[in-house]
A = this chain, B = another copy of it.
Amino acid sequence: MKIHPMWEAYPELQSELIQTIELIDSKIHLRNKPIEHALIDMMHTGGKLVRPAYTLLFSTFGEDHDPSRARALAAAIEVLHMATLIHDDVIDDSPKRRGQKTIQSKYGKDVAVYAGDYLFTVSFKLLTDYSNSVKQTQINTKGMERILMGEIDQMNLRYHQKITVRNYLTQISGKTAQLFALACYSGALEGGQNERFARNCYYIGSHIGMAFQIMDDILDYSQTTESFGKPVLEDVRQGIYSAPLIYAMRENYTVFKELLGKKEQMTNEDTAKVQQLVIDLGGLDEAQRLAGKYTDKALKPINQLPASPEKEIIRKVTVSLLQRTI
């Protein structure tokens, strides 16, 4: 099995991640084989697996570290992530994800909605089958609940041209940072670390997630459709305005007003215009600075983790993850 090349530098972790994916594969069973294969394919094509990687890494600090339980937890986190991706694609009517056709565009909305639901239950099944306590399941359930509350709460902000940086940060905190936080926090607890240590890992994960999402939003403005594997500025058409655009609108709101007012009717030409305006008005640089702030916030407590080979990997992975070339 092949996973993202970024893990080649860490052979042990790479092997753990492969076993995590194999565990997931073994839990996906449908009589409808084409859909089963589509889900398994999706699991194999190009996801970076950063969330389960953090779970595995943070589980090594405790005294009760059990690799097979840690893998089940990592698998649950990744499957949960997949479920939300499939539903995101339903909501956005996205034709492609990671350069591949989405489940919805291949099999229709009905299959995509139920496939996401099915993966939610697979995630819970992984949690309950391997967890050593009801408490671990509770923690994850609560984390998942918070993620979905965040998704719903952000709906308010669609097409909101007066969106502030603060609104944006609340939004990505629910959408992305919570799952990173959960990955690190529940990993630490699973390994047997105490609540105080795990809380610290929660904040590390949250900061990583914030920086990660800001970087992702920057990429949206700095890539072409071909290089990115999905349409550029599709989010803007859908009314989701992220950091680069918000900063650019702060510089000069009037140039965007009419363009954004077209909402779903924005043409590819319109979005290209928005992209160029954002670059010209320095929106990318400002967003880059914001991402840097969160990267620093994550790296400081990472540097204070107890010395171990895994600590070094966490540091290196975080640095390389958050310095993706724009």
Contacts and interface: CB of A to CB of B under 8 A. Distances in A.
A124 B145 CA distance: 9
B148 A114 contact: yes
A151 interface: yes
Given A90-B109, A128-B137, A141-B124, A148 B117 contact: yes
Interface in A92-129: 107-111, 113-118, 120-122, 124-125, 128-129
A118 B148 contact: yes
A269 to B, nearest CB: 26
Interface residues of A, number: 45
What is the total number of copies of this protein in its complex?
A: 2
Contact of A141 (B121, B148, B155): B121
Given A87-B113, A90-B113, A32 B142 contact: no
Main secondary structure on chain A at its contact with chain B? helix
Contact of A149 (B29, B144, B152): B29
A137 B121 CA distance: 11
A28 to B, nearest CB: 10
Contacts of A137: 124, 128, 134, 137
Contacts of A118: 145, 148-149, 151-152
A164 interface: no
A30 interface: yes
A31 interface: yes
Given A116-B117, A134-B128, A134-B133, A30 B141 contact: no
A69 to B, nearest CB: 13
Nearest to A83: B117
A167 interface: no
Contacts of A124: 124, 137, 141, 144
A308 interface: no
A153 B155 CA distance: 31
16 contacts: A31-B149, A84-B117, A90-B109, A90-B113, A113-B116, A114-B155, A117-B148, A118-B148, A120-B120, A120-B121, A124-B137, A125-B138, A125-B141, A128-B137, A131-B134, A133-B134
